[in-house]
Amino acid sequence: MNLIFETYSSKNFVWGYIYDAEDPSRRFTVELWADGVVVGVDWASRPTLGSARPGLDGYDSGFRIAIPPVARDAGSLEIRLANLEISLGLPLTAPSPPLPIDVRPIVGTVEWQGGLCISGWVWPEVVGVSGVSAHVDGQKVGVAKFSGVAHAAGEQAPAIRFTLYLPELLADGRAHLVDVMDDDGRVLVGSPLGMIAFPDSLRATLREFGAGATDLARAELHDRLFPQSLPFELFQHWLERFPLPPSRPSQRVAILLYGDGDARVTAESLPTKDELEWVAAHLPSVAGGDGFAPEDLLEVLEGEAAGATLVVLAPAGARFFRGGLARLASAGERFLVYGDFVLTRDGDPPLPVALPQFSYERALEQGYFALLFAASRLVMVAAARKGASDPFSLGFEILGQATQVRHVPGFIAELPALAPAEASLRLGEAVKRHLETKGIGARIEVRGAGRLFPSLRVRRATPDLSVSVVIPTRDRLDLLQRCIETIEPALQRARAQLFIVDNETRDVAALHYLDRLARLGATILRVAGPFNYSRLNNVAVEAASGEALVLLNNDIEAIDDGWLEEMLGRLSAEDVGAVGAKLLWPSGVVQHGGVTLGVSGVADHALVDCLGDAPGYADLGCVAREVSAVTGACLVTRRQDYLAVGGLDEVAFPVAFNDVDYCLKQIARGKRVIFTPHATLVHRASSSRGADRAPDKAARLGGEVRALRARWFEPLANDPFYSPLLALDGPPYSALAWPPRM
């Protein structure tokens, strides 16, 4: 080894870098010693900034360890390589002198997300004393809004995420250089950054100048790779900029209002009779809230609304946007149709709720589609005769009639605030009757309601399936041992077989541990060659006999012993092809909340700006839902479904996106992919193989990105489980798309 390193210290941190000049890709674990006692540890894989170390581009080798309070008065601090008697320089006895920016502990980071949006993160201590602002040509042009949490690599506590939207006057089609710093003048990593934005999109700008088809196609690619957005708080401006397209339905529409809201507000927002032929009625409330008598509903449907072909159900107090009712009615009477809406809540600004294609799982646990929908008058009559007495029971009765469900993108109305606790009870009763009618055994739990919506947990009976658990590994005894220890209770309850796929482990202690697992009944499969995650799993599945497969990374840690039963329960429905769990970083920040396609032109994890127990956008962190993909770090699927699509693709996706490809292949077969937050685990993502920044890894990742785009261009362009009204330039569900993709 030819070790190159530097170490520094301040009152609160020690930091530096270490690498082997003979093998720059090698990573080291370092320990902080205070007066001869280990008080901290870090894996030297953080970004190493600047160009002070030639030849290291792409090989992150930095470390940063917080000095615990009990060690801040120590006589000496020392950095050593873990498990080796190697000290990185002399003991540090005093804070280091001022240092160049490339080795100073970073205040935070910033990136251009596309358009006028820049975002990043800073440490909590920075937020406590300082703000973050953007400057162009020496002039302050924006102040950051702290919009959630973020995970900083290797940290045990969350950082603070910020978003900053630059003024629209900078959307002039010219390149600008933006300096981003805190109020003390400390520059964030990534600054200065370049940006360019257009009034709507590059394609729209070129179209105004009469550009040809070739240039317009190139512009469309640019817009996909660098999408633009506006923050939710500018919704009114967004709505004026992108109004609903005009439509003129031919059928007569009945508008039925329910609940105790102010019907006069709704009446004032209804279109003129020239725009839409309509009749409206307000159903009397039963015992307050959103309930109504089935006989009152039937009387209106067969009386005042008898001449209508389509019925819109909305809460009293709803304020329809211009063109909203007509857009809802244009979808036709063959469907149950729902659109997007804005929810108001006391003390908070209105929240635009942009919905995706229908998600049955989310409908069961949140009832979102029933708050504002339209359906044929005839199917509503049938539902009323079966006793429907609130919007949820009415919606699920209509679903039970095998009615097709259709989502129409576009904000239809602003709805008054719900009472989530009361709504959860009503939804629970409706879902219970619906599942009983379908003969589905499940236990309905009314959870602590979400922030905006009702919230249930539907516990299906765990299917009687044999289970095989597959864990690829190489060295990293610390990760594998912790993984096995924490998942063992769940595996015992499921009587699961354990398959460990060893990809050339050389660490002696790790080899002894694998031998011990074999003696305890685990199957150890030895697979040589370069790391190929797809191949490792495929080899194990060939050897396994379980009807259900659990794919796990070796850096997964279970929080409780109920996660596997929850995931297997979701698999009880025959049309479910894969199930994924909520995964958290050790800092408590969400690492995986389902995969959203199209983010930065590829795909990314959802809910990553939330803590694990936060409800998230539209309470999505509380309920199960269909998604286009889930991560293979913790994925449950049937073995027969796995084999039906040829398993994971070893050629096109040896390391990355094999899980996305697998899930999309299942959806192409007519299967559903489910994300459930009711199974939550910790994931030390990429702890085993490292990040994809090194040149060789970056080249491989680039090939996988190209393969994914070539094979799944349409889903990547239009994720059916992510609204075209929502942005693709930052964490999913964090802003409005500018312009919308519709």
In this model, does residue 57 exceed pLDDT 60? no
Three-state DSSP state, 214: helix
In this model, does residue 105 exceed pLDDT 70? no
What is each CA distance from 130 to 84, 126, 149, 184, 515, in whole angstroms? Answer: 41, 6, 17, 7, 54
User: Which of 75-79, 571-575, 598-602 has maximum average pLDDT?
Assistant: 571-575
Residue 221: which pLDDT band, with cuts at 50, 70 and 90?
Answer: confident
Lowest mean pLDDT among 245-259, 349-363, 500-514, 626-640: 245-259
pLDDT at 94: 45
Q: Using a pLDDT cut of 70, give the percent of the chain over it.
A: 90
Which tokens in the block code for residue 68? 């615990």
What DSSP state is assigned to residue 322? T
Contact of 172 with 136, CB cutoff 8 Å: no
Contact of 42 with 60, CB cutoff 8 Å: no
Residue 102: which pLDDT band, with cuts at 50, 70 and 90?
Answer: very low
Which tokens in the block code for residue 567? 């995931």
Q: Rounded distance, CA 369 to CA 91, Å?
A: 63
Please state which CATH number belongs to domain 467-737: 3.90.550.60
Residue 355: which pLDDT band, with cuts at 50, 70 and 90?
Answer: very high
Q: Using a pLDDT cut of 90, give the percent of the chain over it.
A: 58
Lowest mean pLDDT among 247-251, 265-269, 693-697: 693-697
Please state which CATH number belongs to domain 244-460: 3.90.550.10
Asked if the peptide bond before residue 739 counts as cis, ω within 30 degrees of 0, the response is: yes
Q: Rounded distance, CA 107 to CA 39, Å?
A: 23
Return the H-helix or E-strand segment holding 32. strand 29-34
- Closest among 265, 308, 268, 261 to 283, alpha carbons compared: 261
pLDDT at 624: 97
Contact of 483 with 471, CB cutoff 8 Å: yes
Lowest mean pLDDT among 20-34, 358-372, 591-605, 703-717: 20-34
Sign of the CA dihedral with 507 first, then 510, 516, and 520 last: negative
Contact of 340 with 268, CB cutoff 8 Å: no
Contact of 497 with 478, CB cutoff 8 Å: no
Contact of 120 with 558, CB cutoff 8 Å: no
Sequence length of the chain is 742
Which tokens in the block code for residue 52? 């002070």
Return the H-helix or E-strand segment holding 435. helix 420-438
What is each CA distance from 48 to 21, 52, 189, in whole angstroms? Answer: 15, 9, 11
Residue 413: which pLDDT band, with cuts at 50, 70 and 90?
Answer: very high
Strand-pair category, 310-315 with 253-258: parallel
Q: Rounded distance, CA 681 to CA 562, Å?
A: 10
pLDDT at 281: 95
Contact of 283 with 257, CB cutoff 8 Å: yes
Residue 97: which pLDDT band, with cuts at 50, 70 and 90?
Answer: very low
Residue type, 385: R
Q: Rounded distance, CA 365 to CA 336, Å?
A: 18
**Mean of all residue pLDDT scores within the chain:** 87
- Closest among 111, 50, 48, 60 to 604, alpha carbons compared: 111
CATH fold match for the domains 244-460 and 467-737: yes
pLDDT at 489: 96
In this model, does residue 88 exceed pLDDT 90? no
Q: Rounded distance, CA 440 to CA 443, Å?
A: 10
In this model, does residue 386 exceed pLDDT 90? yes
| Cβ-based neighbours of 606, under 8 Å, separated by 6 or more | 593, 594, 595, 596, 620, 627, 731, 732, 733
Contact of 307 with 252, CB cutoff 8 Å: yes
pLDDT at 148: 84
Q: Is 568 exposed, middle or buried (0-12, 13-18, 19+ CB in 10 A)?
A: buried
pTM for the model: 0.84
Contact of 120 with 190, CB cutoff 8 Å: yes
In this model, does residue 10 exceed pLDDT 70? no
In 126-244, the DSSP E strands lie at 132-136, 139-143, 145-150, 159-165, 176-182, 193-195, 229-230
In this model, does residue 96 exceed pLDDT 60? no
Q: Rounded distance, CA 345 to CA 148, Å?
A: 19
In this model, does residue 98 exceed pLDDT 50? no
pLDDT at 191: 83
pLDDT at 433: 95
| Cβ-based neighbours of 223, under 8 Å, separated by 6 or more | 201, 202, 203
pLDDT at 50: 39
Residue 134: how many CA atoms within 13 Å on its side-chain side?
A: 30
Q: Rounded distance, CA 48 to CA 691, Å?
A: 13
Residue 349: which pLDDT band, with cuts at 50, 70 and 90?
Answer: confident
Residue 183: which pLDDT band, with cuts at 50, 70 and 90?
Answer: confident
What are the pLDDT digits (tens) for 324-335?
999 998 877 778
Residue 273: which pLDDT band, with cuts at 50, 70 and 90?
Answer: confident
What are the pLDDT digits (tens) for 453-473?
999 999 998 999 999 999 999
Over residues 313-323, mean pLDDT: 95
- Closest among 329, 476, 353 to 418, alpha carbons compared: 353
- Closest among 356, 318, 329 to 340, alpha carbons compared: 356
In the chain, domain spans: 3-81, 108-195, 244-460, 467-737
Lowest mean pLDDT among 30-39, 423-432, 615-624: 30-39
What are the pLDDT digits (tens) for 123-170?
877 666 678 999 998 889 999 888 888 887 666 778 889 999 999 889
The residues facing 320 across adjacent strands are 413
In this model, does residue 660 exceed pLDDT 90? yes
Return the H-helix or E-strand segment holding 701. helix 695-711
Contact of 445 with 472, CB cutoff 8 Å: no
Over residues 280-295, mean pLDDT: 88
Over residues 390-411, mean pLDDT: 92
Contact of 371 with 637, CB cutoff 8 Å: no
pLDDT at 151: 83
Over residues 675-679, mean pLDDT: 97
- Closest among 214, 219, 175, 181 to 195, alpha carbons compared: 175
Over residues 401-423, mean pLDDT: 89
In 461-520, the DSSP E strands lie at 467-473, 497-502
